[in-house]
């Protein structure tokens, strides 16, 4: 069966608007359209098949929800769902589903139901799982919990338990609430749910391959749903409930996409994109290592300058080394007053030594942060050795 070109899609859809509506059939108490699938397939009428697929795509509830969420971009009155229809057409053609429908003598209604409820739904949910993996899993977990837990009950079928309604539109609330519980508008509930505290992320790994984080356990998720219900104080449809609950969770939907061209299917006039290599060249790596080693060599000159600032007097120099250690190189030595008391000197003397140390530090010049870090490590190592030598000399 030949494949349609995209250039014919708009004309096909515009011509279809002038045709008479197909036969309407009653299903579950309402009227739905059913295309003449067997007639189109037997005649290999590609245009009519594409028109029927476009009709199914345009009226599918999950497609409309995807469009409202911004997943589909509308380009015009007739070709809003063109790409999705073409993708569905190619998928059915690739799996030989059209030939299967003919060989198994399926009725028009059966073909319509399989394409709409199975093929198109699977294609959309698969794409949602790929683009929003965590949101998709959490939405399903929330829906399952409100349906199975005795903590919650359904409010839209009270008095008529057999009433059928799509899951996303069903109303749920706490089982302890009265049947006549007043319902608030969505805008008010959206403001009230902000009072619920943001839940921390559970980073335990789960899944068959162990590459997904649990985000939140089922026990904690049920508690969070209860807090959301108490905050909004109203029955709410499942779609809005999922949105409210997930707004209180740290969800990370990571979707990998190719950055550059993917090969032969790319347009010739598409701008080529190349990621710059920001890694160091071998020359830059060598120069950086030399600079860091040189920075460590500044330690001797720095300590010599400190000794000159006290005119080479050993006692004052030892005190200055102690001030350098306790006030700059370790973080748990206490305040300046505590350091002065520890060394048995006045606070003003410690302050004077600190000014001299900082004046000498300001005279140092480094080309980068790594050089400064190397200097700090080397200085800390040297001063620790000097402190140990002082302790040994005192004990002797």
Which residues, listed in sequence order, are joined to residue 202 by a DSSP beta bridge?
215
Any idea what DSSP says for residue 217? -
Contacts of residue 249, defined as CB under 8 A and 6 or more positions apart, other chains included, come to 138, 198, 199, 201, 215, 216, 224
pLDDT of residue 222: 96
With beta carbons less than 8 A apart as the criterion, state whether 171 and 237 touch. Answer: yes
d(CA 281, CA 238): 55
> What is the DSSP secondary-structure string of 342-370?
HHTS-HHHHHHHHHHHHHHHHT---SSHH
How distant, in Å, are the alpha carbons of 18, 299, 327 from that of 365? 80, 12, 21
Give the mean pLDDT per block of 10 residues along the chain (396 residues): 47 42 44 82 92 89 71 54 87 92 92 92 85 88 95 89 83 94 93 93 80 88 96 94 94 71 52 74 82 75 89 89 87 82 89 90 81 83 85 68
pLDDT of residue 1: 44
pLDDT of residue 27: 39
Angle between helices 282-296 and 298-309 (to 10 degrees): 30
Which of 87, 157, 154 is closest to 122 using CA atoms? Answer: 87
> What is the DSSP secondary-structure string of 87-142?
HHHHHHHHTTHHHHHHHTT--HHHHHHHIIIIIIHHHHHHHHHHH-HHHHHHHHHH
d(CA 232, CA 151): 16
Question: CA torsion, points 137, 141, 147, 153, in degrees to nearest 10?
Answer: -120
By DSSP bridging, strand 24-27 and strand 30-33 are antiparallel
């Amino acid at each position: 069966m030949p494949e349609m070109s995209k250039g014919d899609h708009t004309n096909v859809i515009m011509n279809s608007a002038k045709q008479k509506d197909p036969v309407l059939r009653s299903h579950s108490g309402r009227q739905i359209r059913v295309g003449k699938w067997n007639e189109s397939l037997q005649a290999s009428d590609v245009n009519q098949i594409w028109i029927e697929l476009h009709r199914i795509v345009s009226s599918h509830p999950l497609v409309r929800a995807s469009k409202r969420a911004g997943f589909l971009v509308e380009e015009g009155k007739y070709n809003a769902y063109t790409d999705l229809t073409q993708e569905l057409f190619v998928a059915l053609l690739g799996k030989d589903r059209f030939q299967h429908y003919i060989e198994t003598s399926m009725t028009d209604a059966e073909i319509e139901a399989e394409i709409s409820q199975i093929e198109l739904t699977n294609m959309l949910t698969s794409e949602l799982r790929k683009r929003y993996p965590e949101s998709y899993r959490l939405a399903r977990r929330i829906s399952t919990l409100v349906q199975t837990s005795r903590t919650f009950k359904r409010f839209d079928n009270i008095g008529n338990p057999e009433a059928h309604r799509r899951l996303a539109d069903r109303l749920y609330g706490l089982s302890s609430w009265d049947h006549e519980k007043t319902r608030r508008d969505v805008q008010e509930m959206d403001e009230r749910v902000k009072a619920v505290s943001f839940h921390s992320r559970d980073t335990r790994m789960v899944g068959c391959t162990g590459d997904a984080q649990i985000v939140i356990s089922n026990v904690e998720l049920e508690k969070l749903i209860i807090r959301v219900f108490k905050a909004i104080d109203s029955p709410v449809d499942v779609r809005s409930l999922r949105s409210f609950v997930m707004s209180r969770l740290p969800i990370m939907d990571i979707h990998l996409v190719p950055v550059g061209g993917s090969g032969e299917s790319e347009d010739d006039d598409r701008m080529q994109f190349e990621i710059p290599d920001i890694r160091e060249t071998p020359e830059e790596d060598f120069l950086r290592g030399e600079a860091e080693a040189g920075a460590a060599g500044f330690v001797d000159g720095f300590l010599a300058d400190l000794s000159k600032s006290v005119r080479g007097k050993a006692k004052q120099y030892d005190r200055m080394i102690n001030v350098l250690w306790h006030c700059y190189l370790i973080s748990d030595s206490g305040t300046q007053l505590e350091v002065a008391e520890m060394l048995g000197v006045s606070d003003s003397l410690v302050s004077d030594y600190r000014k001299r140390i900082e004046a000498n530090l300001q005279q140092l010049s480094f080309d980068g942060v790594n050089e400064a870090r190397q200097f700090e490590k080397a200085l800390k190592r040297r001063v620790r050795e000097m402190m140990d030598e002082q302790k040994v000399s005192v004990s002797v």
